Amino acid sequence: MKIPNVLFLQPNRVWRTYPGGKKLDIIEGNSEPNDTHFPEDWIGSTTRAINKGREHLTEEGLSKVTVDGETLTLKALCEKYPDAMLGAEHVKKYGVNTQFLFKFLDSAIRLHIQCHPTISFAQKHLNSNSGKTEAYVILSIRDEVKEPYIFMGFQHPPAKEDFKRMVEEQDRNAILACFDKVPIKPGDVFMVPGGMPHAIGEGVFMMEIMEPTDFAVRIEFERGGYVLPEESRFMNRGIDFALSMFNYESTSVETIKERFFCEPKIAEKQNNSAEYILIDEHKTSCFKVNRIEVKDSYTKVSDSFYIGVVVKGSGTINMEGKSYHISEGSKFFIPYITDKVNYTTENGMEIIATFPPEKGWESNVKI
């Protein structure tokens, strides 16, 4: 089997506890788009999803690719050709996985208020070198949502003993009183470090980039008519374990905007096209994210593999005498062995590209 220079990724919808995904149905060309419990598409994933009652689905969450007429998981392909797919240095540092998880997420309702571990917490308590630092790229908002928002950090932090009571009693009013809404809009990019409580508001379509785990504790047990089983609330551990994951510092909305929202920086211009850095080592050592705006032609040379997703427009990928049409929703994996990729368009195209970390097991978000 010869590894292609580009691997196109199939839809990889994953079951979640909250409803959504209508936008994903539209992108995939479904004739009757609906919100269901498959609101996410895991892109280029070598990470398995963890869902109570679905443990028998041993490949849920793992992306699939077709090579020479054979369909297999991206994980299996990386295991078979690790150096060609990921690069020997990456494999030496991280093993045979991409070391990040990249998703489409389309929320019909506000998600559960939740929290993810830092790297140090995961190393100490979860036998993992990865926590779950996240980054969000907001793509669009549903028309009916007039004031889109997220919850992020405690603006009115509770005492730990009071917070435990709120969660045990499911006192939602008291829980929500700990937060102010953080306004968001399409084009916003921001980090959510491990330890920070957060929730995505309703009607948000976005890209989510994170460390490659499915670790989460949720302090609201019911959302959208679905009640979380006990095992899914605190990662099958007790409430004290779950609440020890939280950062209880007071963080104002203004501070959230200042410290965690990311301004794009120009990386390279080619004619009328340009590549912008959205997230780099100044924000986190866990992954990198760029935006490539193609107005005519842009040639991308990378010293690592990366995953690309077309979020606006259409065009072509050109390499070694071959051309491949891509359009909004197209998802592709560029292996380590690929030298360079030329992107062209007639009417404009925008690609979000995510790259692996560079420096090994390092610090979490720099704040």
Q: What's the confidence (pLDDT) of residue 365?
A: 42
What was the pLDDT predicted at 129?
87
At 54 the pLDDT is 81
Residue 124 is inside which H or E element, if any?
Answer: helix 119-125
Burial class (CB in 10 A: 0-12, 13-18, 19+), 199: buried
Give the pLDDT of residue 56.
81
* β-bridge pairing 349-355 and 217-218: unpaired
pLDDT tens, residue order, the chain (367 aa): 789 999 999 999 999 999 999 999 999 999 999 999 999 999 999 998 877 778 787 789 999 999 999 999 999 999 999 999 999 999 999 999 999 999 999 999 999 999 999 999 999 999 988 889 999 999 999 999 999 999 999 999 999 999 999 999 999 999 999 999 999 999 999 999 999 999 999 999 999 999 988 899 999 999 999 999 988 899 989 999 999 999 999 999 999 999 999 999 999 999 999 999 999 998 999 999 999 999 999 999 999 999 999 999 999 999 988 999 999 999 999 999 998 999 999 999 999 999 999 865 444 444 3
Structure token pair of residue 9? 């990724």
Q: What domains can be seen in the chain, in order of their start residue?
A: 7-260 (2.60.120.10), 265-355 (2.60.120.10)
Q: What pLDDT does residue 53 have?
A: 77
Q: Give the model's pLDDT for residue 363.
A: 40
Return the pLDDT at 179: 98
pTM: predicted TM-score of the whole model, two decimal places:
0.93
CA gap 212, 173 in Å, rounded: 33
Taking alpha carbons only, the member of 307, 363, 286 closest to residue 94 is 286
**Other C-beta atoms within 10 Å of 1: how many?**
10
pLDDT given at position 359: 65
pLDDT of residue 51: 74
The answer to whether the CB of 299 falls within 8 A of the CB of 270 is: yes
Per DSSP bridges, beta strands 70-73 and 182-183 are: unpaired
Q: pLDDT value at position 364?
A: 40
Who contacts 215 (Cβ-Cβ below 8 Å, separation ≥6)?
116, 117, 122, 126, 128, 131, 132, 235
Q: How many CB atoms lie within 10 A of CB 249?
A: 11
**SS3 category, 93:** helix
- Please report, for residues 8, 121, 351, 355, the alpha-carbon distance to residue 113 in angstroms, rounded to integers and kept in the order given: 34, 19, 30, 28
